Structure 1
């Protein structure tokens, strides 16, 4: 792994001190410097070094969100966007994936600390990047976006007033759009990934009795399953029906009748297809779930 230079160490320390002193301008300066260094490394194809800059920017963004420093957290997201652009141009997948997961981390932390605007920015940047990645058939990058959106979405439900947050709706609609694109482009792992994240969001929403969210998630999963069916993507069809079954029974157990009915109706649209509940499908989905968990855990 690349070591930090003395200069880089100094900048990171300045950024951290500026956060503990709530000195916005100092954080901005540190972020600008780290961005310049990071893009410089990418242009020289020094990917491990560039990734270290990404991690440092993410840590500053996360620390800023923990301190309630909205502007500094926004600046960290903007800094990462610049690196993302450079990384996409250079086609450095490893760095791109790391940047995308970093948006998820900052957005999740922001949502947990009631910084709505920061969480919203992170989610919308992810949404845009996800559609681009899916249209370019970059499956691993698409999956990184899916994880980030799902993590932000789940965190929004844990906020004080989750039902008045636009953020969960943004996460659901971005995931829904990506799910359809991935199904149409036969990116089956990514399509299953979207369904898994939507299912996790539905479970989180049910814990807070948020029936509207659960209803729109059920609809999104149904749409993705339908697209997957047209493309003969058995695993994605299987996961769509399995997610809807989970939502239906969990909602029923919690007396969330609207949500349960919505899932049941969505599920019925798959009825004519006897969905093969075989071991192979279950195993494939589990492999994808595990891969996503590992990616997220490694990025934290």
Structure 2
């Protein structure tokens, strides 16, 4: 019964977006939120995840249509489900919700709906801190993916160098990664470093020098925290990312960014940077795992 109601509400929401009817979208999201909360209270995770996907699709469609209020409402609906899924420790649903924030925020950034992208990134940043503090590594990784995807989209939109949304994504990724390292969640720390490196690449393609320099600082902070916890793979990834940024920025004559990366790289003890096949393989495994998670949720 609820499954049919879920489908009906989703179709109503999507039809309302086609008609640019905000009230219809709002009603659909309210229905879906209540259905989802019911599933979560009964610990019906598969059904809850379907509802999350329905809300996400409405949010994405709203962002594509430029319907800012509807996209914001979708994020708010997902927030309500997130509160319950985290409290119930339902990892699968929580991960799906977190990635959904990233999916909506990414499209919002591409459509220049800056307020929506900012909201999605801010919610992810707050969730990342909570997940890391609770030692929930997979959820923390999902946060880094979502933030990274929004951040890359923001960088590619050629906003003025170091826009507010770019700053939020960089700061939140840095804070989440640093906390993950402090909690010895190495895969999550590496995840944050990987997404920051990808964001730096996108920023440098658009000659966003300040953003690239700020990213280098965030990577350094994660790497230094990892160094204190003797997490060799995370230290290696930080150093590798900084080396890449330094080189790429130099090739593009982004001298300030190149210098920032060089200074950050020099802060590491070279004896702590262990470059071996095992580290490279581990980092690639994490990268592929993150890619698969994202592709499965887009």
Instruction: Specify the alignment match of 2:131 in structure 1.
Output: 133
Instruction: Specify the alignment match of 1:103 in structure 2.
Output: 101
Instruction: Specify the alignment match of 1:181 in structure 2.
Output: 179
Instruction: Specify the alignment match of 2:291 in structure 1.
Output: 293
1:73-84 to structure 2, matched below 5 A, reads 73-84=71-82
Deviation at 1:8, TM superposition (A): 2.4
Instruction: Specify the alignment match of 2:144 in structure 1.
Output: 146
Deviation at 1:270, TM superposition (A): 1.3
Q: Does structure 1 residue 252 correspond to structure 2 residue 219? A: no
Q: Does structure 1 residue 14 correspond to structure 2 residue 12? A: yes
1:267-282 to structure 2, matched below 5 A, reads 267-273=265-271, 275-282=273-280
Q: Structure 2 unaligned runs (5+)?
A: none
Instruction: Specify the alignment match of 1:235 in structure 2.
Output: 233
| Match for residue 225 of structure 1 among 223, 226, 240 | 223
Cα distance in 2 for residues equivalent to 1:7 and 1:239: 47
Cα separation, partners in 2 of 1:274 and 1:37, compared to 1, 3 Å: closer
Deviation at 1:180, TM superposition (A): 1.2
Q: Structure 1 unaligned runs (5+)?
A: none
Deviation at 1:7, TM superposition (A): 2.5
Asked whether the 8 Å contact 2:161–2:209 carries over to 1, the reply is no
Instruction: Specify the alignment match of 1:62 in structure 2.
Output: 60
Cα separation, partners in 2 of 1:203 and 1:164, compared to 1, 3 Å: closer
Instruction: Specify the alignment match of 1:117 in structure 2.
Output: 115
Q: Deviations over 1:58-88 (max 9, x none)?
A: 0000000000000000000000000001111
Instruction: Specify the alignment match of 1:88 in structure 2.
Output: 86
Runs of 4+ in 1 over 4 A off after TM superposition: none
SS of corresponding position for 2:66 = coil
Cα distance in 2 for residues equivalent to 1:222 and 1:8: 45
Deviation at 1:242, TM superposition (A): 0.3
Asked whether the 8 Å contact 2:155–2:206 carries over to 1, the reply is yes
RMSD: 1.2
Task: Tell me the TM-score normalised to structure 1 length.
Answer: 0.97
